[in-house]
Amino acid sequence: MKIKFSKELGIGISFIVAVLILVFGINYLKGINLFRPANFYYAEYPNVSGLEVSAPVSINGYKVGQVREITYDYQHPGKIKVLLALNKNLHLPADSKATLEQTMLSGAFVNIIIGKSSQMLSVGDMIETQEVPGLLDAISGDVMPAVNNILPKVDSLLANLNTLVADPALTASIRRLDGITESVLGVTQGLNATVKGDVPRVMGDVKSITHRIDTVSSNLVALSATLRALPIASTMDNVSQITDNLSSFSASLNNANSTLGLLTKDPELYNRINQVAADVDSLIVDIKRNPKRYISIKVF
């Protein structure tokens, strides 16, 4: 028997298939895989700001599931129920906790803290939740007090800075600094001009002095050569010999037994020489007075 499909039945089946494809496609785009087996657990939070369906559920940063559904619990006002689809192979101890944590860019996610109980949660049970301070709460709790303490100091610093800027002495100091800068610039320009004008002359003088020093050095070299050519050795020998003779003469004078020593040290010999000199002097005087007594002249 041949089954005939009416046009209306075909349209209905096509619509159902289209709806299924749409549902699966939307969930797929959200990151929800309806064909992957999962265990479902519930968690309740007073505030799920930033948490969205398909948000990741992780353990120590590793993704083990995702948020499948978020609903408001009308039977318990103030509670928001979150359906968690976790990996089929994951078994949670009874004392495990599900915390809601915030991120800077991707909103919020659920973090599972594995407990140590030997009793396991059953599929569909409620996981105990734990509040974790959000990023803004941490900033408000830690940073804002420090900022509040710094703000009065910043205000005081700005006030002192405004007072300093408005002080006429600062303006006068800046003007004096400008004058000093101009003076230094003028001195620098003068030095540059001096260097350009005088340095060549000074270098010429230095060259002249260097030439004279070279001439003096050449003369010293020639004098040194002349001195080396002198018979210094023989001259020193002669000087040494003269010194020895003088030493011998001095020794003879100091020796009482030598002739020179007797002349200088024997008073009797000295007196005799004086007596002889006196007699000779008397003889010469007598010869002058009576020459005929000593000289006889005969005339033939």
Q: Return the number of other C-beta atoms located less than 10 Å from residue 157's C-beta.
A: 11
What are the structure tokens assigned to 222, written together? 């020639």
Q: Which residues contact 208 (CB under 8 A, 6 or more apart)?
A: none
- The whole-chain average pLDDT of the chain stands at 78
Q: Which residues contact 94 (CB under 8 A, 6 or more apart)?
A: 115, 117, 119, 120, 121
More confident: 270 or 61: 61
Q: Where are the domains of the chain?
A: 7-35, 37-138, 150-230, 231-290
Tell me the CA end-to-end span of the chain in Å, nearest whole number.
Answer: 227
Over pLDDT 90: what percentage of the chain? 17
Rounded to two decimals, the pTM is 0.40
Q: What is the band of 111 on the pLDDT scale with cuts at 50, 70, 90?
A: very high
Name the pairing type of β-strands 79-87 and 38-45: antiparallel
- Locate 70 and state its tokens: 């978020």
Q: Are strands 38-45 and 97-102 parallel, antiparallel or unpaired?
A: unpaired
Q: What are phi and psi of 38, to 5 degrees?
A: -150, 155
Tokens of 51: 């948490």
Q: Report how far residue 239's alpha carbon sits from residue 230's, in angstroms, rounded to the nearest whole number.
A: 15
pLDDT, tens digit, 9 for 90 and up, residues 161-207:
888 777 787 777 787 887 788 888 888 887 777 767 666 776 777 77
CA distance 113 to 281: 154
pLDDT beyond 50 at 300: no
Give the pLDDT of residue 180: 86
- Give the phi and the psi of residue 187 in degrees, each rounded to 5: -60, -40
Could you give the count of Cα atoms lying within 13 Å of 129 in the half-sphere of its Cβ? 21
For 23-54, what is each residue's pLDDT tens digit?
666 655 555 555 567 889 999 999 888 888 88
For the cut 90, the answer to whether the pLDDT of residue 71 exceeds it is yes
**CA separation for the pair 84, 75 (Å, rounded):** 20
Among left, alpha and beta (phi > 0; psi -120 to 50; other), residue 60 is left
Q: What is the pLDDT of residue 157?
A: 81
Residue keyed to tokens 């039945």: 9
Closest among 98, 89, 94 to 64, alpha carbons compared: 89
Alpha carbon 56 to its chain's center: 49
